[in-house]
C-alpha cells in the first residue's frame, strides 16, 4: 500500500468518526433542548461522553438552542470544568483550598506535580493522567483530598499517592 492510499484511508476514517460524533452530539442537544436553561446539562452530557467538548459541538449546540457560536463558546470557556481537548484516562484533581493546605496540601501538590512531571491542565505524555486543581471537595475534616474521576480520596500523603498511581497504572497494563 503506498503512502497516499494510507493517507486517504486515515482521512476517511476520521471523517466517519467526525460524522458519528456529530450524530451523537446532535442527539444529546435534541434530548435536552426543550428544557429551560439547557446549555449546562448539554455540555455535561457531551463531556461525559468524550471527556471534553469537541470544537464541532459548538455550531450544533448553537443551532439547537438558537444561540450564536460565540455565546456557546463563551459559556464553555467560562467554566473551569469544561475542557476543549481530550483528558487522559484518569482525571486527577488536587484540592488547593485552605483546609487541605492546613493539612499539608501544598507539599502534596508539589509532590504530585513532581511524580507526574506535569503541571495543572496538562496530560501525562502517556495520556494516563490529566492533572487539574480543584477548590474544595467538601472533605475538609480528612484532608488533604484528591479526586480521581468520581472517587474522592481523603488523608492523602506522598506515600499513599504513590501507591495509588502504581495501582491505577497497573490496572491499565492489565486492560491493555
Partner 1 sequence: MTIKLYIPQDTTALSLDADRIAQRFEEQIQQRVSDRMTLPGDADIEVVRNGSRGMFWLEPLVEIDTPQGRVGYGCVTLDDVDTLLEEGILAGEYGHRLCVGLVEELDYFKRQQRLIFARAGLDDPLSLTAYRRQAGFDGLAAALAQTPQQLVDAVKASGLRGRGGAAFPTGIKWQTVLDAESTVQPAQKYIVCNADEGDSGTFADRLVMEADPYMLIEGMIIAGLAVGANQGYIYLRQEYPEAYRILSEAINRAQGEGILGDNILGSGRAFHLQLRLGAGAYICGEETSLLESLEGKRALVRAKPPLPAIVGLFGQPTVVNNVLTLATIPYIFAHGAQAYADYGMGRSRGSLPFQLAGNIKRGGVVELAFGASLDELLFDFGGGSASGLTLRTVQVGGPLGAYMPRQQWSTVLDYEAFAEVGAVLGHGGIVAFDETVDMAQQARFAMEFCVVESCGKCTPCRIGSTRGVEVIDKITVGNNPEYNWQLLDDLCDTLEAASLCAMGGMTPNPVRSAMQYYPADFTRSATTAVEDEQHA
Enumerate binding residues for partner 1 (CB under 8 A).
35-41, 43-44, 65, 71, 74-75, 78-82, 97-103, 134-143, 145, 147, 150-155
Segment holding 5, helix H or strand E: helix 3-32
Which residue lies nearer to partner 1 by CB, 11 or 141? 141
Question: Residue 20 or residue 68: which is nearer to partner 1 going by CB?
Answer: 68
Cis preceding linkage at 144, omega within 30: yes
117 Cβ contact list (under 8 Å, min separation 6): 124
Q: Which is nearer to partner 1, 18 or 163 (CB)?
A: 163
d(CA 25, CA 57): 6
Q: How far is the CB of 175 from partner 1 (least distance, A)?
A: 20
Minimum distance from residue 123 beta carbon to partner 1 (Å): 18
Pairing between β-strand 129-134 and β-strand 122-123 as defined by DSSP bridges: antiparallel
Amino acid at each position: 500500500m503506498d503512502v497516499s492510499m494510507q493517507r486517504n484511508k486515515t482521512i476517511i476514517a476520521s471523517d466517519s468518526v467526525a460524522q458519528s460524533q456529530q450524530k451523537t452530539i446532535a442527539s444529546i442537544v435534541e434530548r435536552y433542548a426543550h428544557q429551560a436553561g439547557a446549555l449546562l446539562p448539554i455540555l455535561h452530557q457531551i463531556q461525559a461522553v468524550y471527556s471534553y467538548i469537541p470544537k464541532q459541538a459548538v455550531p450544533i449546540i448553537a443551532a439547537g438552542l438558537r444561540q450564536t457560536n460565540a455565546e456557546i463558546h463563551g459559556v464553555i470557556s467560562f467554566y473551569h470544568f469544561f475542557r476543549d481537548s481530550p483528558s487522559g484516562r484518569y482525571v486527577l484533581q488536587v484540592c488547593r483550598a485552605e483546609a487541605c493546605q492546613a493539612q499539608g496540601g501544598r507539599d502534596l501538590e508539589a509532590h504530585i506535580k513532581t511524580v507526574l512531571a506535569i503541571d495543572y491542565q496538562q496530560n501525562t505524555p502517556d495520556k494516563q493522567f490529566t492533572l487539574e486543581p480543584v477548590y474544595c471537595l467538601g472533605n475538609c475534616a480528612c484532608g488533604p483530598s484528591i479526586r480521581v474521576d468520581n472517587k474522592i480520596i481523603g488523608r492523602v500523603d506522598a506515600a499513599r499517592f504513590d501507591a495509588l498511581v502504581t495501582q491505577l497504572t497497573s490496572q491499565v497494563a492489565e486492560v491493555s
